[in-house]
Amino acid sequence: MDIQTKKQSILVVDDEVSLRKALGDKLVREGFTVFEAKNGEEGLDVALNNHPDLILLDIVMPVVDGITMLKNLRENEWGRDAKVIMLTNLNGSGKVADAIVWGTQDYLVKSDWKMDDVIVKIRQRLKAAS
Amino acid sequence: MKRLYPETDDTTTKLKVLAKKKESTRRKLVVTAKKLALTAEKKENIRNNLIITARQLAIVAKEKEVIRKKLAVTAEALRLKAENIEQVEAKEEAILASIDDGVVACDKNGQVTLFNKAAEILTGLSAKEAIGQHYSYSLKFIRESDEKKSDDLIGMAIVQGKATKMASHTMLIKKNGYKISVSDSIAPVRNSQKVIIGCVIVFRDSTQEAKIDKAKTEFVSLASHQLRTPLTTVNWYSEMLLTGDAGPLNEKQREYINEIYKGSKRMGSLVNALLDVSRMEMGTFTVEPEPTDIPALAQSVVDELRPQIDKKSLKFNGKYADNLPVVNADPKLLRMVFQNILFNSVKYTPDGGNINLELGLSDAKGQAVKANERKLNIMVKVSDNGYGIPKINQDKIFTKFFRGDNVRAKDTEGTGLGLYIVKGIVDQSGGRVWFESKEGKGTTFYLTLPIEGMQKRVGTNTLT
CA B306 to chain A, closest CA, distance in angstroms equals 20
Question: Strand, coil or helix: what is B453?
Answer: coil
Q: What is the mean pLDDT of chain B?
A: 86
pLDDT value at residue A4: 45
CA dihedral sign of residues B266, B269, B275, B279: negative
DSSP structural state of residue A110: G
In this prediction, residue A129 carries a pLDDT of 74
Q: Which of B380, B384, B378, B374 is nearest to B348 (CA)?
A: B384
B229 lies within 8 A of chain A by CB: yes
| pLDDT (0 to 100) of residue A1 | 39
CA nearest to A114 within chain B: B236
Interface of B with A in 97-156 (CB under 8 A): none
ipTM, 2 dp: 0.90
The CA distance from B456 to the nearest CA of chain A, in Å, is 15
pLDDT for res B137? 93
Per-residue pLDDT tens digits for B334-348: 998 999 999 999 999
Q: Which of B217, B228, B461 sits opposite A111 (nearest CB)?
A: B228
Higher pLDDT, B270 or A123: A123
Backbone angles phi, psi at B166, to 5 degrees: -70, 150
Helix crossing, A115-129 with B207-242: angle to 10°?
100
Would the CB atoms of A89 and B464 count as touching at under 8 Å? no
Q: Determine which helix (DSSP H) or strand (DSSP E) holds A29, and give its type and residue range.
A: helix A17-29
CB B460 within 8 A of CB A93: yes
Q: Residue B203 forms beta bridges with which residues? A: B102, B184
**Among B421, B457, B460, B461, CA closest to B165:** B457
CA distance B166 to B186: 8
Q: Which of A26, A89, A119 to mutate to test the interface with B (most CBs of B within 10 A)?
A: A89
Q: Please answer yes or no on whether B225 and A60 come within 8 Å at the CB atom.
A: yes
Chain centroid to Cα B146, Å, comes to 28
> Which residues from chain B sit within 8 angstroms of residue A23, using beta carbons?
236
Question: How far apart, in whole angstroms, are the C-alpha atoms of residue B418 and residue B398?
Answer: 8
Please, are residues A119 and A26 in contact by the beta-carbon 8 Å criterion? yes
Instruction: Show the CA angle centred on residue B184, arms to residues B179 and B185, nearest 5°.
Output: 155
Residue percentage of chain A with pLDDT more than 70: 95
Task: Give the mutation candidate from B218, B226, B236, B265 for the A interface (greatest A CB count, under 10 A).
Answer: B236
**Cα angle value A24/A26/A31 (rounded, 5°):** 95
Nearest to A91 among B232, B239, B275 (CB): B275
The Cα of A91 is separated from the nearest Cα of chain B by a number of Å equal to: 7
Least reliable range by pLDDT among B245-254, B377-386, B450-459: B450-459
Report CA B138 to chain centroid distance, whole Å. Answer: 25
Can you give the pTM of this predicted structure? 0.62
In this complex, which of B225, B245, B462 lies closest to A89 when CB atoms are compared? B225
Q: What single-letter DSSP state applies at residue A81?
A: G
Provide the angle, in degrees to the nearest 10, between the axes of the packed helices A17-29 and A115-129: 60
Is A2's pLDDT higher than 50? no
Closest CA–CA distance from residue A9 to any residue of chain B (Å)? 20
Please check whether the domain covering A9-129 is classified as CATH 1.10.3210.10.
no
Which residues in chain A have their CB less than 8 angstroms from residue B271's CB? 111
In tens, the pLDDT along B38-72 reads 878 888 888 888 888 889 888 888 989 899 899 88
Give every CB contact of residue B285 below 8 A, 6+ residues apart in sequence: B276, B279, B457, B459, B461, B462, B463
Facing residue for A91 by CB, picked from B236, B459, B464: B464
Please state the domain extents for chain A. Answer: 9-129
- Residues B432 and B297: their CA atoms lie apart, in Å, by 19
Number of CB pairs, chain A paired with chain B, less than 8 A apart: 72
- Partner-chain contact A93 B243, CB within 8 Å: no
Interior angle at CA B56, CA B55 and CA B62, nearest 5: 90
Over residues B120-160, the pLDDT tens digits come to 999 999 999 999 999 999 999 988 877 888 778 888 888 88
What secondary structure does DSSP assign to B114-183, as a single string? EE-HHHHHHHS--HHHHTTSBHHHH--EEETTT-PBPP-HHHHHHHH---EEPPSSEEEE-TTS-EEEEE
Angle of the A40-50 helix axis to the A66-74 helix axis, nearest 10: 30
Q: Which of B409, B449, B442, B407 is nearest to B427 (CA)?
A: B449
